Structure formats: C-alpha cells, structure tokens
Amino acid sequence: MTRTLLVAGTASHVGKSTVAAGLCRLLADRGVDVAPFKGQNMSNNARVVVRPDAESGDGTDSGSARGGDRWGEIGVSQFVQARAARTTPTTDCNPVLLKPRGDGESQLVLQGEAHDHVPAGTYYEEYWTRAREAAAESYRRLAADNDVIIAEGAGSIGEINLHDRDLANVETADFADAEILLLVDIERGGAFASLYGTIELVPDGLRDRIVGAVITKFRGDPSLLEPGIEEIESRTGVPILGVLPYDDPGLPEEDSVGLPGSEERGVVGDDDGVPADRRLRIAVPRLPRISNATDLEALAAVPGVSVVYLPVDEGGRDGDPAATDPLTGVDADAVVLPGTKNTVDDLLALRAAGYADALAAFDGPIVGLCGGYQLLGERITNAALEGTGEDDVIEGLGLLPVETRFEGEKRLEQTAVPVDGSASPLLSGANGPATGYEIHAGRTEAVGDVTRPLGDSSAASGRVLGTYLHGLFDNESVRAAFLDRVAESAGVDRPTNGVGGGSPSGGAERTGATPSDRAARLVAENVDLAALGEPFVE
C-alpha cells in the first residue's frame, strides 16, 4: 500500500512547497521510492516535463502539447520536488494546472495539455469533473510506482465555500486516502487562531486524518510558543510536531506572490554584503501578467547582483509624454524583459507606462526572455488571438528586427541550444550548449539583419538579445559571460569570489548545499518525524 501525506495549509504561502520538497529529499536519501503530487495548481511559473502517456522520443524534438506528443507542463514546485525526490518529473506530478492570464481567466492545462482560456465559473461548471478524473488517474499511476506520495495542498484546506470542489486538498485527501500534515505561518500573526479555526472547519471526513501540525516562519525563541502549543493541542487533540525557523532554502517561487506588485518597486539579491560601488543592477519591468519569473533568480543569487523590479502602471502616464521616465533613478546597468502570460496586453501596459521611449533611450544591454523576446520585436501579428482587444497587428518596442505571429498551438520542449559567444557582444566568451526549455505560443522570425547566438530560438542585434530559452541564466557559462559584459559596460569592478553564483532552481548554492538539501535539513532538524512513523524515520 502506498502511503500518502498531504502537506496542507491554513493559507497560501505558509511553506507547503518547502516542506514537501524537504520531505521528498529526506525520503529519497533513505532509499524510499517517493514522488510529489499536487492535484491542482495555479501558477504561471511552469516547467516542461515528459508525459507518461506520450510516445517515446529522443528528448530533442519539439511539438505542441496536443496529440500525444512527448512534452507537457507542470508547476515549478512539483518539478523541483520531483528533482528533490530524485525521480523524473512528469505531468502526473501536477495533472491540473491553471495559468492566470488576467481578466479573471486562466488557461487550463490537463495532464500537460493546454486547453481553453476559461473563467473560474466556467471551469467549475464545465471542466471540474474532468479535472478531478485526470487528477485521480495521475495519482493512481504515481502510487503504482512509489512507496510514498508527498502531496501538496493549495491555499487553505479550511475554505468552506470550496469544500465541494477543492481538488488540491479535499478531493486529493479523499481519493488518495491521505494523512494530513497542517502548516500555519506564524509571521502573519494570529497563528493559533488560524490553526484552531482551520481544524474546526475542515470537512468532518478529514478531521481524523490530521496527524499533526507545524508552525512555520518563526523568528525568535521557540520556547515562547510553548503555552500556546499546549493550549492548542489540548483544544484540538492535534499535536504540534515542530516549529520551523524563518529560513529561505532558495527554492524557486511557485507564483508571483513573492514578487513586488506591478505598481511598486522591489529589489532582490541586495543583502549579500557587496558594497554599492561594486554592484550590478539588473532592471526588470514587473509585468502585470509576468510568468516564469524564476528565470531571474539565478542572477539574483550571484554576489554583487541586484534584480530591481520596476512598476508597470497600467493606468499609464495620463497622456503626458513628459512624465517621469520609468528608468529614472534606477541606475540600471542592464534591463531584462521577463516572460508574460499575455504578451499583447503587457506590451500595451509597457507603452502606457512609458517604457517604449525609456528602453529606446537606454544605452545598456537589454535581454528579452520568451514573452520578453516577443515584446522587443517590430510587431506582433494575429495579436487578437493572444490579447483581450480586437487589433490584429500591434507594434512592438522596435528594438529587434523580428516579428512574432501568434498561433493556436504551444511549443513545448526541453532543449539544448548551441552558444555562439561571437554572435552577440552580450555573450562574448560564453560557450555551450545551453540547456533549458521552451514554452510559448508565438513564432518569431527575422525581418532584418540579426545574429543567432543561441541558435534558432534567439535573435540579437548590437546591445539587444532575445531568446525563447527559459533557464538561460541557469547556465553558468552564459550567466558569467553576460554579467561580465554588463560590468564592462557599466564600468563596475564586480566581485570575482563566487562569480558564478547559484541557481535557486537546483544548482549549487554559495554554501555548497542545494536548495533541496537545505529544505530537507530544515525539516529534519525541526519536525518530530518520529511521530509520523516509518518511513519518515530510520
């Protein structure tokens, strides 16, 4: 019999992904066959993985997610958790993925295959039964091949308005016959009240499945919590199995909740002690519909590099072309345009916020990743397929002589591309190949002279580079070459110790431990795993 532990929460962002990844690594290191599972996820940070029911391939051919092709997409947390479990991530790890695109709609992805853009009401009325069947089927496949499934819930398991359709929590606990480990974030305040209320509000059939609770993100002396712990255990009968100190193992963010809002400025990576005169500042417009923002985490992990998220006010500048340049006061050494779930609408938002003029006047390196690559071009055709308006042709930022045409099918592919450092001054000295993945709906072609420093998935002209390769900066050679060129352009003598940095999505950190190892240690040192019995204890 496969044992399933559902890591559920009293709210979103309470540490479920971290604890699930840590448990996966602990069990894998003890020789247990373990796999992660999240029945339903909502995230625009996705990864391309194999589909268990797909035709076998050589790992290099591309195609859409339709028609039984090799590739599908899942949320980044289940990808990372599968790696933590030392197993191959597949679409079964996250069979239902909702990718928000604005205006109350999300793209529905079932077992890796992209379907329609649907409002929440339509999803529950027309697709939810099918989604539940897909989730149950994927769980059964995973359970057949593993001794333990570490399932991750979503949001709060105590949302009484959703209990009849809560796929990630209630339904998963039901069809997986799962035990439940309940997490509560004390940093938010009111942790004991939240924990008590959640336990009281879970469906009657799940109450006896709760085997314990863990308090997360605590700063201070854990002994201060003892009176509250004793009281909550007495009132609920649920044991508190641990208190996790506030710590960031470096796992990638599941969604944009951890990023600054689209109307505020925020900095990531400026807490490493490197003085200001030796820092590089990479400006990133915080697109309203940003996706795969984890592409920037590898840069922020490098000592001496700050990733500065800039606001993109969709309200615009009220028609005043003399309004403040959005890059003013940033002292940016380079600009990276990230991916977006809705290229057309984010392009219009950038224009309204003054970025078209600001980027045209910027004389430093500019890189566009996936949707950001599309934004850099001369124009977008068949734009109504992607945006919320009716215009068929939208003028791009005009920084690269390329044109993007949107099509109905996605391109999904894990890939390795050749690196030609001589084809772009931004990558001079880099070598390859560079590995990553593509996940996009548009096709981009040159309409002028460009070079191809990263194969056909890229275009470059002077100080501007665009590519469809997600995970570009996870490649150490590319990352180091890019930062060296940025430093030269800015006249900054950046640190050479730890120059390569680390990739929060799985590379070695400055400490030498991977994020999964750190998550495992965090759990092992602070949670009473003996209370969970075998195989959680040796």
Q: Which residues are catalytic?
A: 370, 470
Buried-state track 295-332, b at ≥16 Cβ within 10 A, e below 16? bbbbbbbbbbbbbbbbbbebeeeeeeeeeeebbeeeeb
Residue owning tokens 């995970």? 471
Q: Cα separation of 172 and 44, whole Å?
A: 22
Which tokens is 232 given?
Answer: 């909550």
Which parts of 173-239 are beta strand (E)? 179-185, 210-218
Long-range contacts of 382-389 (CB under 8 A, 24+ apart): 382/406, 382/407, 383/344, 386/342, 386/343, 386/344, 386/441, 386/442, 387/342, 387/343, 387/344, 387/345, 387/348, 388/102, 388/103, 388/342, 388/344, 388/345, 389/344, 389/345, 389/348
Contact 37, 96 (CB under 8 A): no
User: Do the beta carbons of residue 242 and residue 215 sit within 8 Å?
Assistant: yes
Identify the DSSP state of 252: P
CA 263 to CA 113: how far, in whole Å?
Answer: 33
How wide is the angle at C-alpha 352 spanned by C-alphas 284 and 461, nearest 5°? 50
Write out the two tokens for 336. Answer: 């990276």
Helix (H, G, I), strand (E, B) or coil at 122: helix
* Best CA proximity match to 288, nearest among 330, 369, 349, 367: 349
Distance in angstroms (rounded) separating the CA atoms of residues 255 and 237: 34
What span, in angstroms and rounded, lies between the C-alpha atoms of 22 and 520? 4
Bridge-based pairing state of the strands 148-152 and 96-102? unpaired
Q: Pick the closest to residue 434 from 385, 384, 471, 382 (CA basis).
A: 471
- Cβ contact 131:119 at 8 Å: no
Identify the DSSP state of 392. Answer: S
Q: Which residue has the tokens 């339903």?
A: 40
Which DSSP symbol is given to 516? H
Report whether 283 contacts 327 (CB < 8 A). yes
493-to-153, 279, 320 alpha-carbon distances in Å:
46, 8, 38
| Residues 506, 249: Cα–Cα separation, whole Å | 11
